[in-house]
Amino acid sequence: MIATAAPPSGYTRILVPGADVVALASVADTVRQAVMTRSLYSYAAAHPARRSLRGRGTAYAVPLPDGATHVVVRHSRHGGLLAPVTGDRFLPPTRAPQELRTALHLADAGVATPEVLAYATYPAGPLFRKSDVATREVAGGTDLGELLGSPHERAELRAILEAAADLLRMLERAGARHPDLNIANVLIVTEGDGSRTAVVLDVDRIEFGVPGDAAIGAANLRRLIRSAHKQRALGAITVTDADLDTLAAAAGYSL
């Protein structure tokens, strides 16, 4: 079974053997080249210029065949207790179409998140499908977990935490509840003028409620703080409770 819903405005469906692909119209030709003889993820994994990124499974940063469009390609996988059973198989149409719609909704609401350039789904037996998603690579970004694992001057650390707080506020304004908001899913981007902005990643499971609902903002904060506590317990980061209080206060919450 192949998803037949019309792609969002500006996107087009590409039919290639063994795959159903939706891509931003401006990059459709180069995406087609990437998936013509292999899956989108296999293209990325085999690319000589690939860079591995950490996360659930391995994602790859690669150029598309046009050499000018740089993307991060991720193979979709389940998380949680059923992950060993379900693995990378999803019921149609998979989470990929929802991830595209969610990313567009977030962007419309002013929340920074990588632009989804394409997704591809592939049959996996009679009932299931697998999927890959390609997002535009965000230049100059480092995930919050990596940053919190390195020493910083006090003012620099505060700027990093305030950027994350800005993102929390924007998610609340959009009514976006992120059930997997952890310090690896927040990308801190340093701009040319030295300022920092935060970008939210892995948005496929985000649910939307009432815009501006403080309960949604508080829930997102709790997930982020819980992630920081977990990584601190593992010795991966050295962030203090006072630092986390700074993050919460900057976002307008109290722990």
Tens of pLDDT along 111-132?
A: 999 999 999 999 998 999 999 9
pLDDT of residue 177: 98
Rounded to the nearest integer, the mean pLDDT of the chain is: 92
More confident residue, 86 or 41: 41
Task: Determine the Cα–Cα distance for residues 223 and 228; give it in Å rounded to an integer.
Answer: 9
Residue with tokens 């991966």: 236
More confident residue, 2 or 110: 110
- 8 Å CB contact between 181 and 224: yes
Read off the amino acid at residue 67. Answer: G
pTM of the model: 0.92
pLDDT of residue 4: 64
Residue 36 has pLDDT above 60, yes or no: yes
Q: Residues 134, 138, 141, 145: is their CA dihedral positive or negative?
A: negative
DSSP-derived 3-state class of residue 246: helix
User: How does DSSP classify residue 76?
Assistant: -
pLDDT of residue 1: 42
